[in-house]
Amino acid sequence: MTSAIVLGGSRGIGKAISNALKSIEIDVFAASKKDIDTSNMESIKKFLENYNQIDVLILNTGGPVPKQFFDITEDDWKLYHNQLFLGFCTILQNIKINDGGYIFLISSNVIKEPNPKLIISSAYRAAFNEVFKILSKDYAQKNISCINIAPGPINTDRTKELIENVKEYEKSLPMKRLGEPEEIGNFVKSIIENEIKYLSGVTINFDGANSNYIF
């Protein structure tokens, strides 16, 4: 039976992925912040003592509170360096992905079109994407696919916190609505279910035609 760990699996996009994977008989561990706090290196190491091998890994974590550049403290940088970058590196250094497995990274479209309110997120998610791209070539040798999904505006609690007037905002979007977490969940599910392996080393915008950059 295929096994999966979904980080940040108790809410939002992580929860939707967990549910979608469960629907195809995958043995899912939807890890919540209680199980592993990716901003805390001790918590990560402890988690890795118990979970060190898996078929499918979903690297997913919430983003920081919005802060303008000049208000960000050294402690802020270091905290989110852990949460958005170093924690994921440590996990990949210490967990065995089984041959033929999958690693999905849930990042954000801000890595391509950075957002001043989300400057921390833009920076560290971009950093981790570089690592992920490089590793995709190594993992390819074991038939492990590495897929970065870069969501735009998705209907999560997070978005509701960031956007003041969601109804107004939706009208400005090409599809006149936020994306649903379930769309991402089903997308992840369908890739695994159909054993699509050659999709790897790729960053996939998932934003309802909202981004403006050509690729």
148-207 binders of a copy of itself (CB under 8 A): 152, 154, 174-176, 179-180, 183-184, 186-187, 189-191, 193-207
Separation CA 120–CA 118 (nearest Å): 6
Output the six-digit token pair for 24: 């195809």
Nearer to a copy of itself by Cβ, of 65 and 196: the residue is 196
CB 201 within 8 Å of CB 140: yes
- Residues in 3-62 at the binding interface with a copy of itself, rule: CB under 8 A: 41
User: Residues touching a copy of itself: how many (CB under 8 A)?
Assistant: 79
Nearer to a copy of itself by Cβ, of 4 and 146: the residue is 146
Closest approach of a copy of itself to the CB of residue 200, in Å: 4
Among 95, 119, 162, 163, binds a copy of itself (CB under 8 A): 119
Place of tokens 């039976």: 1
Stretch that binds a copy of itself, among 51-59, 80-88, 98-106, 157-165 (CB under 8 A): 80-88
Nearer to a copy of itself by Cβ, of 41 and 157: the residue is 41
Place of tokens 């107004």: 168
Separation CA 145–CA 124 (nearest Å): 22
Identity of the residue numbered 207:
D
Among 115, 162, 169, 170, binds a copy of itself (CB under 8 A): 115
Q: Would you tell me how many other CB atoms lie within 10 Å of the CB of residue 23?
A: 13
Stretch that binds a copy of itself, among 2-10, 54-62, 115-123, 159-167 (CB under 8 A): 115-123
Separation CA 129–CA 85 (nearest Å): 9
Max Cα–Cα distance, the chain, nearest Å: 49
